[in-house]
Amino acid sequence: MEVNALVIHPRDNVAVVLEDIPKGGAVRLAGGGTLRAREEIPCSHKVALVDLPRGTEVIKYGEVIGKAGEDIARGSWVHTHNLVLEE
């Protein structure tokens, strides 16, 4: 099983995909974790590792990068369409 997503920091609740992931495709993490993509996720974009209710802090690099602008389900693409960026 080849890893196709990276969790950059242990605190992160998103991972970065290393290739385009089709809807329903496997997101394979180092350490053996796997989840299904709920939608197409472009290479180098983020995928939610857990359910992120609206207002939840989104953490990448161990730092808050924004808040969920809507409910984001585990396996969903996380990007500007559903993320409120921190200022």
Q: What does pTM read for this prediction?
A: 0.94
Judged against a pLDDT cut of 90, whether residue 1 lies above it is answered with no
pLDDT of residue 31: 81
pLDDT in tens, 11-59: 999 999 999 999 999 999 988 899 999 999 999 999 999 999 999 999 9
Reference 73, options 26, 14, 2; nearest CA is: 14
Q: Is the pLDDT of residue 4 over 80?
A: yes
The pLDDT score that the predictor gives to residue 86 is 65
Q: How far apart are CA 56 and CA 1, in angstroms?
A: 31
User: How wide is the angle at C-alpha 77 spanned by C-alphas 38 and 17, nearest 5°?
Assistant: 100
Instruction: Check whether 87 has a pLDDT greater than 80.
Output: no
pLDDT of residue 76: 98
